[in-house]
């Protein structure tokens, strides 16, 4: 007997809405957006290379705020009249949500738009351990998607921060790689669930590849990869 325990309900999609999804301009940068492909998997992985410069994080916060803002207006152009929700999963060690909120305020002022309308479309989830993060993505998010009839965008911030248990002072590559390898199976299951969700919903994942310990084990799972380097340049990876 075929099991549907991990499948989502069947959805009928308007052809115009489907085309709009494939043409979504996520970064508002033609040199990047024109190369991204959402025809079968609506996912993108943003890799932030190690940097002591805070400008990289500031740039990411502005991007996350932009994704939330843009998704609100993106849904207003569809023909199926579905409301939308951004599920913002923060797995970082810092004050990501505070910085993103400040960027949302700045963008709302710049665009002369009431921020409450955007905030009402954002569900915030905070993970303090990697096991909490895995449980949220593997068990709780699919339940939520089945429960609500919305267009969904999932943004996972700092995917690996709670995975690295090593004391910051001892963050050499050997210790980081050990932490990464110890959690490899659970990480793979978590990523596989995100990829499965991206069959129908937008999934955006970011992580800091400290000392390049992940190699290609994460980005190989995603359809679209963007790397942010030390100079805040965006590089599309294939």
Domains of the chain and CATH, by start: 40-237 (3.40.50.300)
Helix axes 173-182, 184-197, angle to 10 degrees: 60
Question: 135 by DSSP, 3-state: which?
Answer: helix
Q: What is the pLDDT of residues 110-146, one digit of tens each?
A: 888 888 988 999 999 999 999 999 999 999 999 999 9
Helices (H), the chain: 15-22, 30-33, 55-76, 96-110, 115-119, 130-135, 141-147, 173-182, 184-197
Instruction: Give, as one character, the DSSP assignment of residue 170.
Output: G
Characterize the bridge pairing of strands 224-228 and 234-237. antiparallel
**Per-residue model confidence (pLDDT) at position 232:** 55
**Per-residue model confidence (pLDDT) at position 168:** 61
**Per-residue model confidence (pLDDT) at position 72:** 87
**Per-residue model confidence (pLDDT) at position 3:** 44
Cα separation, 4 vs 14, whole angstroms: 24
Classify residue 204 by burial, with Cβ atoms within 10 Å: 0-12, 13-18, 19+.
buried
Classify residue 142 by burial, with Cβ atoms within 10 Å: 0-12, 13-18, 19+.
middle
Helices (H) and strands (E) in the chain, counts: 9, 7
pLDDT in tens, the chain (238 residues): 444 445 555 556 665 566 667 778 888 888 889 889 998 899 999 998 765 555 667 888 999 999 999 898 876 665 555 678 999 999 988 788 999 999 999 988 888 888 898 899 999 999 999 999 999 999 999 999 999 888 899 999 999 999 887 666 667 888 888 999 999 999 999 999 999 999 999 999 999 887 788 878 899 999 999 988 765 566 766 5
Both tokens of 91, joined, read: 């797995």
Beta bridge partners of 122: 86
């Amino acid at each position: 007997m075929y099991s549907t325990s991990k499948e989502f309900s069947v959805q009928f999609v308007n052809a115009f809405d489907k085309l709009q999804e494939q043409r979504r301009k996520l970064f508002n940068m033609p040199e990047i957006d024109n190369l991204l492909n959402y025809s079968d998997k609506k996912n993108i992985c943003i890799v932030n290379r190690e940097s002591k410069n805070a400008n990289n994080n500031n740039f990411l916060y502005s991007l996350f705020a932009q994704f939330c803002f843009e998704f609100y207006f993106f849904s207003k152009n569809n023909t199926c009249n579905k409301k939308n929700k951004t599920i913002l999963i923060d797995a970082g060690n810092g004050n990501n949500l505070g910085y993103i909120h400040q960027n949302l305020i700045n963008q709302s002022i710049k665009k002369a738009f009431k921020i409450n309308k955007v905030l009402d479309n954002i569900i915030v989830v905070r993970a303090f351990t990697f096991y909490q993060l895995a449980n949220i993505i593997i068990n709780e998010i699919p339940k939520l998607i089945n429960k609500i009839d919305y267009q969904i965008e999932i943004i996972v911030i700092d995917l690996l921060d709670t995975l690295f248990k090593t004391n910051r002072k001892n963050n050499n590559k050997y210790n980081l790689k050990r932490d990464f390898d110890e959690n490899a199976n659970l990480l793979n299951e978590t990523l596989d669930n995100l990829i499965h969700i991206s069959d129908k919903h937008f999934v955006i994942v970011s992580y800091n590849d400290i000392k390049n310990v992940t190699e290609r084990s994460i980005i190989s799972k995603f359809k679209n990869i963007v790397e942010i380097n030390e100079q805040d340049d965006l590089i599309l990876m294939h």
